[in-house]
């Protein structure tokens, strides 16, 4: 709160543009996390289906060998594995977007806040600029961990609903 109060004191009303960027980042991260939880549900379902089929095959290996169904079950397991890998790839891509946004939005917050201040107020003293940069550096750490926390919270909620 001290950092936000200091930024408001130093940047004035132009800091609300930074707050808008902060809210926008939270909205984007929330949407990505919700999509990620949906993908995780599909991934868990695909993993469960593949494991169940593999367990069934191992349990009934004698019957499968006697009747020559080896290739049929092998193809079925491959199909289940392809679906699982497809869901993992989707999850990986979404995680990459989340990581990009984790690093993009704090920098965007700082850049847009400075640009707006300079646009409306003209000059910015060097000592004030360095002090503002220091405050932004203090805020960047928590801002970067916030999306990960939201994502983990949503995944925890999903896993609790499964139980």
Domain CATH code at residue 141:
1.20.1560.10
Domain containing 73 equals: 2-162
> How far is it, in rounded angstroms, from Cα 134 to Cα 141?
12
Is the pTM here over 0.75, yes or no? Answer: no
pLDDT of res. 89: 93
User: What confidence category does residue 162 fall into, taking pLDDT thresholds of 50, 70 and 90?
Assistant: low
Asked whether the predicted pLDDT for residue 163 surpasses 60, the reply is no
Among 21-25, 44-48, 80-84, 152-156, name the one with the lowest average pLDDT.
152-156
- Say which residue, 121 or 155, is predicted with more confidence: 121
Task: Say how many domains are in the chain.
Answer: 1
Residue-wise pLDDT for 50-105, tens only, equals 999 999 988 888 888 888 888 998 999 999 999 999 999 998 998 888 888 888 88
Asked whether the predicted pLDDT for residue 137 surpasses 90, the reply is no
User: What confidence category does residue 23 fall into, taking pLDDT thresholds of 50, 70 and 90?
Assistant: confident
State mean pLDDT over 33-58. Answer: 89
Q: Taking all residues of the chain, what is their mean pLDDT, rounded to a whole number?
A: 84
User: What HEC string does the chain produce?
Assistant: CHHHHHHHHHHHHHHHHHHHHHHHHHHHHHHHHHHHHHHHHHHHHHHHHHHHHHHHHHHCHHHHHHHCCHHHHHHHHHHHHHHHHHHHHHHHHHHHHHHHHHHHHHHHHHHHHHHHHHHHHCCCCHHHHHHHHHHHHHHHHHHHHHHHHHHHHHHHHHHHHHC
């Amino acid at each position: 709160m001290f950092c936000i109060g200091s930024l408001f004191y130093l940047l004035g009303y132009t800091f609300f543009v930074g707050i808008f960027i902060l809210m926008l980042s939270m909205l984007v991260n929330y949407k990505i996390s919700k999509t990620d939880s949906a993908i995780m549900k599909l991934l868990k379902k695909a993993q469960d289906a593949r494991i169940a089929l593999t367990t069934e095959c191992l349990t009934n290996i004698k019957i499968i060998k006697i009747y020559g169904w080896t290739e049929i079950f092998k193809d079925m397991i491959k199909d289940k594995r392809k679906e699982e890998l497809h869901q993992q790839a989707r999850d990986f891509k979404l995680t990459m977007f989340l990581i990009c946004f984790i690093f993009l939005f704090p920098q965007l917050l700082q850049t847009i806040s400075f640009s707006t201040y300079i646009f409306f107020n003209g000059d910015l003293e060097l000592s004030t600029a360095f002090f503002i940069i220091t405050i932004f550096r203090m805020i960047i750490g928590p801002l970067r961990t916030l999306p990960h926390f939201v994502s983990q919270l949503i995944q925890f909620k999903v896993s609790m609903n499964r139980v």
